[in-house]
Amino acid sequence: MKKMIVGDHIVKSFGEGDEKRNVLDGVSVHINEGEFVAVMGPSGSGKSSLMFALSGTDGINDGKVVVDGQDLSMLGEKELSDVRRTKMGFVFQQPTMLKNLNILDNILLPALRDNRKNTADLTKKARALMKRVGIEELEKRDMTQVSGGQLQRAGICRALVNNPRIIFGDEPTGALNSASAQEIMDIFSEINGEGTAVMLVTHDAKVAARTERIMFMRDGAIVSEMTLPKYNGMRLDDRVEKVTAKMRDIGI
Ligand SMILES: Nc1ncnc2c1ncn2[C@@H]1O[C@H](COP(=O)(O)OP(=O)(O)OP(=O)(O)O)[C@@H](O)[C@H]1O
């Protein structure tokens, strides 16, 4: 399997002098093309920092991150932002959307910054995505007129509109009730089934149990990993039990 992203001895630190602390302490990790992975671990263990490092969102202090053979530290700001815009999509716990724009325009906003793309084509793509995730009726509403689950669906459309090769999700179901969370996970599974890699940071064993590889972090390091067969919609409870047993074993 081809590696899409490789992190090699990543060190990320905050603070100066005696206060200096490594939040990523020499982490080596990879994500394969089309893979579905989760990162779990206690609060403050470095999960989001790892995601920000692997996506080139944040610089690192040592080690390197290579995306499709390109060492991110060798790229200028413009090239780095091109890599992020063309290859990556981002979904957060609370989608940040502008209040004065409707849902459709919010979905289109980041993509339209890339003026090489045609607005009509992008709009068509955005509408197709909205239909697919079941929010096609909502394009004229603003973010205060939709539910949390609908807003997150819009966030996923926004992340997908540029056809990324990987979606990074930082607690994408964290603000949702459990039924909406599972529906959002159905969408991630579908996207992944079409070949897009997905990396989710989550506290929720039910979310992680949908993926095929889980990395467990503690104190800025990956302390354990488990793999699961691709989820086929069956026996989620058994998978969740395996994940929680592993968490108990390693004490997180
Ligand atoms: N900008 C920053 N300045 C200083 N410390 C930071 C900064 N960003 C993160 N940290 C610290 O780095 C550590 C790791 O944070 P990170 O957000 O990666 O953890 P996490 O595992 O994602 O936590 P959570 O599950 O609570 O989101 C934490 O101790 C956090 O306080």
HEC assignment per residue over 104-166 = HHHHHHHHHCCCCCCHHHHHHHHHHHHHHCCCHHHCCCEHHHCCHHHHHHHHHHHHHCCCCCE
How far is ligand 1, taken at its centre, from the CA of residue 221, in Å? 13
First to last CA, the chain: 30
The model's confidence at residue 26, banded by pLDDT at 50, 70 and 90, is very high
Helix (H, G, I), strand (E, B) or coil at 248: helix
pLDDT value, residue 115: 63
* Residue 46 CA, closest ligand 1 atom number: 18
CA dist 34 and 44 (Å) reads 28
CATH tag, 3-250: 3.40.50.300
Q: How far is the CA of 167 from the centre of ligand 1 (A)?
A: 21
Pocket, ligand 1, Cβ cutoff 6 A: 14, 23, 41, 43-49
The reported pLDDT for the residue numbered 117 is 72
Predicted pLDDT of residue 38? 98
Q: Which residue's CA lies nearest to atom 3 of ligand 1?
A: 14
Output helix, strand, coil percentages for the chain, rounded to the nearest 5: 40, 25, 35
Higher pLDDT, 179 or 192: 192
Instruction: Reply yes or no on whether the pLDDT at 118 is more than 90.
Output: no
The ligand 1 atom nearest the CA atom of 51: 18
Q: Among 12, 13, 14, 24, which is best to mutate for testing ligand 1, by the most ligand atoms less than 8 A from CB?
A: 14
Distance (angstroms) between ligand 1 centre and the Cα of 49 equals: 6
Q: Which is the closest atom of ligand 1 to the Cα of 52?
A: 18
Query: For residue 195, what pLDDT is reported?
Result: 96
| Domain boundary assignment for the chain | 3-250
Segment 196-222 mean pLDDT? 97
Q: Residues 37-82: pLDDT tens digits?
A: 999 999 999 999 999 999 999 999 999 999 999 999 999 999 999 9
Is the whole-model pTM more than 0.90? Answer: yes
Give the relative orientation of helices 103-112 and 119-132 as an angle to the nearest 10 degrees.
130
User: Per-residue confidence at 135, pLDDT binned at 50, 70, 90?
Assistant: very high
Q: Do the interacting molecules here have an ipTM over 0.90?
A: yes
Question: Has residue 197 got a pLDDT over 80?
Answer: yes
pLDDT of 113 strictly over 90: no
Query: Atom 29, ligand 1: which residue's CA is nearest?
Result: 44
- Which protein residue's CA is at the shortest distance from atom 17 of ligand 1? 48
What separation in Å is there between the alpha carbon of 225 and the centre of ligand 1?
Answer: 21
Residues 191 and 169: their CA atoms lie apart, in Å, by 13
Instruction: Extract long-range pairs of 149-152: CB within 8 Å, 24+ residues apart.
Output: 149/176, 149/177, 149/180, 149/183, 149/184, 151/94, 151/95, 151/97, 152/91, 152/95, 152/176, 152/180, 152/184
**Cβ–Cβ < 8 Å for 38, 89:** no
Backbone angles phi and psi of 163, in degrees to 5: 50, 60
R_g of the chain, CA atoms, integer Å: 18
pLDDT band at 190; cut points 50, 70, 90: very high
Mean pLDDT of 160-176: 93
